[in-house]
Structure 1
């Protein structure tokens, strides 16, 4: 997909189930942080010259905030979450501001618990549905996902505890990463990507500067693009990527080998986004999307296979638990 980026657009709405306010006409600055980690996404949004009455309404009554941004022909949601903190301040004698800090899915992450049991013969999808049922009251529904295996448990399973812990186990057994994206649970295969056409990233479609290969992945900056989602494919010309400099000392060899495996260049130029940060100013120059992505066929190096905290890794063999 290749859509020229011009004619900025922005929409900011805050509210609750009964009413909402549209603050799109005011000056808005924002910084949105999104990743494929289970840690909830977050946003810092600054709104200028809000009236005292509106500020009090947002502080006391409103819970949800939805920010949309982009360009004509490529406009969409870049953050949908709950308001966690509201602060007022002043930048100058004439300009006041209202700062809103928000999070996406933090209520489900911190407080959703499971207290159920599954009969013998249950599948991974049954476990996923049980987790979704436990998070429904926290505003979480199923988003884009993957086809889970159909393996059946030979006996019943008791599920009691934090939902996030069971999602961790389900992610490891299905070799997938899970996260909350705009109020929805997303499952992405560690060796795959979300369905849909790849976002073409070139100078003609808004790429700023040149992509760079780092130890964290391929980093690229572009004009704000709401089509770039966590787990979606990007198509980048490998010839434009500035390659990582490897160390020459003997001690650098393990790091070099890891980089060659995890942050290598894809032979076809297709990459999966794992971090998507948006920043902008509706009346300023800043209007960017910063992405960290990995090759579609990147693999986990052997040195990480015994690290249970790494999504998709395999932990050491522990004692057998006879009661599940």
Structure 2
């Protein structure tokens, strides 16, 4: 679905769309490339003229669909493919303007804490359409001296995250943060019955690259339980997600870049096959 600045929307669900979503990593934005086939001339011309400002991808399965990407259109082009198919290519970025343009010019008086810094930075993201999502609980330490902040907001957000040992990201127009080495509560089981594809590749340090069918339940910092080749079970935290899809083709998968998380014993599992 694409949206114009005034709120007018256009649903492209019945057209062929080939998409690539580039993963979310700490303090980096997500990006996406969409190839949309055989739009009407009027719609294709409107996109190229900049009449539409944002694009949202909702995908999954009948009982388990959700937003995979929500971002601002940065570039579009039009081409002819296979001598018959007209293709409009759209490149989009998640929370681009907040990342690039948000700045802060504020002094916090003595006695401030990390939560006040976080709130002040959040206020600078809001004018660019960013809302608050999952947020790490900040430490209660009160600082005896005032703090002056002047410059790009994301730079100060990085400093705060390093100081308080949390990770943060813009995801689908939300500012989200979570403590280092923490994960979302539910455990998502991946095996041959629940969408696991191919052979899980283990990386240096005990991490893994895992390919599975597109599952919007899997998010940044999700905890997944994977049945490995040896029939052993591994637990992994999802650090970034790359997606490849074709609404009228065979490609429909996620590549999960994960770190190991093997200290789980009694945590209940959520089997994605039941969604």
1:72-105 deviation per Cα after TM superposition (whole angstroms, max 9, x unaligned): 1110100000000010001022111000000001
* Partner residue in 1 for 2:237: 272
TM-score of the superposition, structure 1-length normalised?
Answer: 0.77
Q: Mind listing any 5+ residue stretches in structure 2 that lack a counterpart?
A: 264-275
Match of 1:233 in 2: 223
Contact 2:2 2:52 in 1 (8 A): no
Higher strand share: 2
Equivalence for 1:282 = 247
Residue pairs, 1:243-258, within 5 angstroms? none
The answer (yes or no) to whether the contact 1:36–1:178 under 8 Å persists in 2 is no
Q: Kindly report which structure 2 residues correspond to 1:167-182, keeping only aligned pairs within 5 A, or say none.
A: 167-182=157-172
Alignment of 1:1-324 (within 5 A): 12-59=1-48, 60-194=50-184, 196-215=185-204, 217-240=207-230, 269-296=234-261
Q: Which runs of 5+ in 1 are unaligned?
A: 1-11, 242-266, 299-324
1:240 Cα deviation from its structure 2 partner = 4.6
- Judging changes above 3 Å, is the alpha-carbon distance between structure 1 residues 142 and 31 closer, same or farther for their aligned structure 2 residues? same
Cα distance, 1:236 vs structure 2:
1.2
Shift of 1:135: 1.0
Contact 1:234 1:272 in 2 (8 A): yes
CA distance in 2, matches of 1:176, 1:297: 20
Q: 1:39 offset after TM fit, Å? A: 1.6
Task: Let me know the Cα RMSD of the aligned residues.
Answer: 1.7
Q: In structure 1, what is the Cα distance between the partners aligned to 2:181 and 2:122?
A: 24
Partner of 1:6 in structure 2? none
Residue 13 of structure 1 deviates from its aligned partner by 3.5
TM-score w.r.t. the length of structure 2 is: 0.90
- Other structure's SS at 2:7 match: coil
> Could you tell me how far apart the structure 1 residues matched to 2:114 and 2:11 are?
42
Q: How many residues align?
A: 261
Q: Tell me if structure 1 keeps the 8 A contact 2:234–2:262.
A: no
How much does 1:222 deviate?
0.7
Following the alignment from structure 2 to structure 1, what is the Cα–Cα distance between the partners of residues 82 and 229? Answer: 46
- Secondary structure of the corresponding residue to residue 28 of structure 2: coil
Distance, in Å, in 1 between the alignment partners of 2:182 and 2:187 is 13
Contact 1:236 1:269 in 2 (8 A): yes
SS at match of 1:154: coil
